[in-house]
Amino acid sequence: MATGISANKLELLQIADAVAREKGIEMSVVLAAMADAIQKAAKARYGVENDIRAEIDPKTGDTRLLRVVTVVEVVENDNLEITLPIAQRTHPDAQIGDEISDELPPVEFGRIATQAAKQVIVQRVRDAERERQFEEYKDRIGEIISGVVKRVEYGNVVMDLGRGEAVIRRDNLIPREVFRPGDRIRAFIQDCRREQRGPQIILSRTDPTFMAKLFMQEVPEIYDGIIEVRAVARDPGSRAKIAVISSDPSIDPVGACVGMRGSRVQAVVNELQGEKVDIIPWTQDAAGFIVNALAPAEVSKVVLDEDAQRIEVVVPDEQLSLAIGRRGQNVRLASQLTGWDIDIVTEAEESERRQTEFAERTQVFMGALDVDEMIAQLLASEGFATIEEVAYVPLSEIMMIEGFDEDTAAEIQNRAVDAMERQNKELDAKRIELGVSDDVAAIEGISPAMLVALGENDIKSLDDFAGCVPDDLIGWYETVDRKRVRQAGILDGFDLTAEEAEYLIMAGRVAIGWLTQEEWDAMSAPETVDVAEDATAEEDLATDGAL
């Protein structure tokens, strides 16, 4: 049988095999492209209205042309359909719905047909090559890859990866680095996507993950999973901070990343064109981690606002410029690394602010409680910030102030209660003037000052209030130009937590009848475990173990 294979057939298989090897695609794809080309030429010869198919045997190279028709009861298209009686003349087993085929004579390829066939084959092979390239690289996103610079176009670097091309856009290149054709470079696969002109493999040398992957290549402990890179922040080409933690207490994560005489970190620095790298131990304690992140600056004190993810850092006066860094670089990278908004103030600024707050509180106490300056200062120095705190704290806390006996403490608290009542009457009158309904005022937990704030923001009815969400009351954060920007809430300044805001809103929804108290209780109740059932399960498990 093999002797019957002509030289043309062997040559066709050899060409298909050579193209498949060169382009890195399956030979079946190339043969399918050739079959398509033959099919197109055959349709031009026998009529495009016919269903003509070409088959190439992958073992022998034999080519067959078939005209296919469908067996139907009533013929509507003579070119594609045939009745059952006529079909059974040549195919006795034919049934309605079957496809039957008849072999056609081979087609002689003229110059135009040959050119058209070539275009079909080239296009199909190119499509297959693109698909192969996309499938190869789509699962490699997040890896480091090396290649040779093929050309530089308008600042964008096109890299030859061997079996494809990739591009490093100008904004993904480290500032001031210049590449020339023939240079071998490493980059991070940031994205791989299908596009009309073929798969686009996007590389980056500025992505923070690129640095993490470089450390993984240089530090065996990171590759083995003993040391974990928790966060990276970069100012490409200038400075970077990387936070690491070790799962093995006997291994120092910072020392391991630095290496003997700085060999490991220096290898990364060299790859990143001299970018300075601060390696920071990661810790679960937010305050400690932020203090570490601001290194080399020394920190005197920190004040955290966990709800707002904001921290105030107090540094000695001479450390301010070091903490902020050139053009704010140090504090910006520390903020990116930790995910917290960082405010830096000097000890002198903090002291001045404390004195201002102390003076303001003193004046408030003097005016509202009708006491002299010394008593007002004593209250302020003991941490009392508002008249409300003085009015409603246990009397024993006021009595603890040096020089205050029970009678003095009681008198001060009574004056504070009277002042609160006067203030609440004024606020209630303003609430009524703004048109805030009594139904809203009846919700437990909403103070007169809050009612005025609601009224000033056009929340006047129970329906208005019940339609709010917690963010409306306490504010929220949005990312604007890569910065986390806080949007003010209606009840800003009342120190409400998200849980407290949700409680007030749900109470309003119960009051208006949007849900019942039982439904609210069911929603807020923690999941419980059937103790008896759990105990039975444990007994069964113990029995199984004994068996």
The CA-based angle 294-340-479, given to 5 degrees, is 130
Per-residue confidence (pLDDT) for residue 22, from 0 to 100: 64
Average pLDDT in the 491-498 region? 81
Average pLDDT in the 523-530 region? 56
Task: Delineate the domains of the chain, giving CATH numbers in brackets.
Answer: 2-131 (3.30.1480.10), 139-204 (2.40.50.140), 438-547 (no CATH)
Of residues 131 and 391, more confidence is placed in 391
CA-to-CA separations, 137 to 7, 141, 145, 186, 189, in angstroms, rounded: 39, 7, 10, 15, 8
The CA-based angle 241-188-207, given to 5 degrees, is 35
Per-residue confidence (pLDDT) for residue 419, from 0 to 100: 86
Which range in 210-219, 407-416, 482-491 is most confidently predicted, on average pLDDT?
Answer: 210-219
Per-residue confidence (pLDDT) for residue 3, from 0 to 100: 35
Of residues 478 and 505, more confidence is placed in 505
* Percent of residues, the chain, with pLDDT higher than 90: 4
Report residue 480 as tokens: 């604007």
Per-residue confidence (pLDDT) for residue 243, from 0 to 100: 92
Q: Model-level pTM? A: 0.57
- Are 333 and 241 spatial neighbours (Cβ–Cβ below 8 Å)? yes
Per-residue confidence (pLDDT) for residue 287, from 0 to 100: 85
Taken in order 140, 144, 147, 152, the sign of the CA dihedral is positive
pLDDT tens, position by position, 429-447: 988 888 888 888 888 888 8
Amino acid identity at 496: L
* Percent of residues, the chain, with pLDDT higher than 70: 83
- How far apart are alpha carbons 141 and 104 in whole angstroms? 49
pLDDT tens, position by position, 281-296: 998 888 888 888 888 8
| pLDDT higher than 60, residue 471 | yes
Amino acid identity at 414: N
Average pLDDT in the 73-83 region? 76
Per-residue confidence (pLDDT) for residue 481, from 0 to 100: 66
Average pLDDT in the 186-209 region? 82
Per-residue confidence (pLDDT) for residue 244, from 0 to 100: 92
- The SS3 of residue 302 is strand
Predicted confidence band at 8 (pLDDT cuts at 50, 70, 90)? low
Q: What is the mean pLDDT of the chain?
A: 79
Predicted confidence band at 111 (pLDDT cuts at 50, 70, 90)? low
pLDDT tens, position by position, 358-390: 888 888 888 888 888 888 888 888 888 888 888
| pLDDT higher than 70, residue 255 | yes
